[in-house]
Amino acid sequence: MTLTPSANRPSGKSSNQFIDLLMSRFHVADRRNRINQRISGQTNQPTHQADRPSVHLRWALQQMKLRGWNSKDWGALFDDDGKLGTGPICLLEACGAGADAPGAFSYESPEQFYLRSAFVALGQEVPLYLSSWNDEQETFEPIETVLLKAIELAEADEAAGVKPWVEMTEGQFAKRFGITSDRLHAERIKQEAETAS
């Protein structure tokens, strides 16, 4: 799923179009730079340190606590002028992720790697789409639990100087997170049925 420019939320439609993926990457890079600048300004740390996944995840948790949370209506992380928007934000929007792509992990952000890894560490099934899981929650507690575990995992890797997502193949990602072609196919059929109704 790619993020829609207006709401910055996954559209619910899968896209393999090169231009869509290219624009999504451009949008994500721009937003990540805005987040880095915002974090750097708030913490007085250099931009390259602000770019660490653990820092993005911690900032995302802070933003979700400051702006409130619900599972239905979402504002945008930034407004058209690049200033922080208003209203609650979703799990992926808060950390600047641009594509919820269980069938193409190379399009996901490092933060999504750690969010997915958090489910593994917590002994839970990894959701196909983190955005959908986010919207299914009735309280903020599960979101905070996953974010805190993701931060812990990211900080451990940063301390060890490793970036495990860089070297992993699509097959290794899928195996680690339990993403199978059967699950993807079933979800695609479900999305198509929901779109048709």
Write the pLDDT tens digit of every residue in 27-52: 777 788 888 888 888 888 887 788 89
Mean pLDDT within 54-70: 90
DSSP-assigned beta bridge partners for residue 10: 3
C-beta separation of 82 from 88 below 8 A: no
Position 95 scores a pLDDT of 85
Residue 169 has pLDDT above 80, yes or no: yes
Residue 107 maps to a domain: yes
Place of tokens 């880095």: 36
Closest to 1 measured CA to CA, from 14, 18, 19: 14
Residue 5 maps to a domain: no
Residue 11 maps to a domain: no
Comparing 6 with 17, the larger pLDDT belongs to 17
pLDDT band for position 70 (50/70/90)? confident
Residue 134 maps to a domain: yes
Position 115 scores a pLDDT of 97
Residue 3 maps to a domain: no
CA dist 151 and 149 (Å) reads 5
C-beta separation of 166 from 173 below 8 A: no
pTM of the entire structure?
Answer: 0.85
Residue 121 has pLDDT above 90, yes or no: yes
Residue 4 maps to a domain: no
Q: Number of structural domains, the chain?
A: 1
C-beta separation of 149 from 118 below 8 A: yes
Comparing 37-51, 136-150, 169-183, the range with the smallest average pLDDT is 37-51
Position 19 scores a pLDDT of 64
Which residues, 6 or more positions from 41, have their beta carbon under 8 angstroms from its beta carbon? none
Query: Domain limits at 184?
Result: 18-196
Pick the most confident of 62-76, 88-102, 122-136.
Answer: 122-136
Residue 13 maps to a domain: no
Residue 59 has pLDDT above 60, yes or no: yes
Position 23 scores a pLDDT of 61
Residue 44 maps to a domain: yes
